Amino acid sequence: MRENRDLLDTWEADDVVQRFASDPAEELIAWALEQWGTRIALCTSFQAEGMVILDMAHRIDPKVRVFTVDTGRLPQETYDIMERVRELYHIEVELFFPDPRQVEAMVRGDGPNLFYKSVEARMWCCHVRKVEPMRRALDGLGAWITGLRRDQSASRATINKAELDAEHGGLMKLNPLCDWTSEQVWDYIDTYDVPTHRLYQRGYTSIGCAPCTRPTQPGDDARAGRWWWEQNAVKECGIHGLGTARRCDI
């Protein structure tokens, strides 16, 4: 693999998948941090998986870059754990916000709760508040790290530990926990005393914007509490290229 080069080609990406297929998540993270240095960053919304990845990466390199998207509609508990992360790990969390002009135009035209009106309206809100800020967050990077897991939902069932991110210009996207179970995630949290989002204590199994997330019931899909009013819709916001977003007329 060639050094001092940010973007990998398809052959190199496949090589990474094969190389780390059965290795611990920490091995992939350590290799990636050495490979890209300051040109790689960890994306987290401070859910359980993201906190595991953050803890692993910080143990390898305390200067690891961490970023998140603040949609402007997050629950207070998300800000609380964000502050806890800053204090405990002594890191700067890079925050990216939606363009206020886009938010203003969207809310003025379609209302503050447009996401309840249709799937298309919800996807447009996600696009403005999440997808566009994410594009800016990834600008200039060669790779990024996520906490995606295959068993979180059907739309994530085929993700690999490493894949080229065509949605963001061919960056390397790393999913070190893709083959982990929920039990493994929480075992790691218990073993290393990793801080967790307080909404888990109230029955939440997936946490996003406050008006778009609610607790789930035993036996529910992990993402059943996201956009629960939608029927037969993909439970994705578009950040990971697993959903679609377009301008809609309401």
Residue 183 class from Cβ within 10 Å (0-12 exposed, 13-18 middle, 19+ buried)?
A: exposed
Q: Which amino acid is at 248?
A: C
Q: 77, 197 in Cβ contact below 8 A?
A: yes
Q: 140, 27 in Cβ contact below 8 A?
A: no
Among the listed residues 43, 178, 212, 237, the single catalytic one is 237
Q: Which helix (H) or strand (E) holds 53?
A: helix 48-60
Distance (Å) of CA 88 to CA 85, 91, 225: 5, 8, 29
CB atoms within 10 A of CB 53: 27
Q: Which of 147, 149, 134, 96 is nearest to 241 (CA)?
A: 134
Q: 175, 161 in Cβ contact below 8 A?
A: yes
> What is the chain's Cα-based Rg?
18
Q: Which of 101, 90, 32 is nearest to 62 (CA)?
A: 90
CA distance linking residue 97 with residue 6, whole number of Å: 25
Give yes or no: 237 in active site.
yes
Q: CA-based angle 44:126:112, to the nearest 5?
A: 120
Q: Active-site residues: which are they?
A: 237
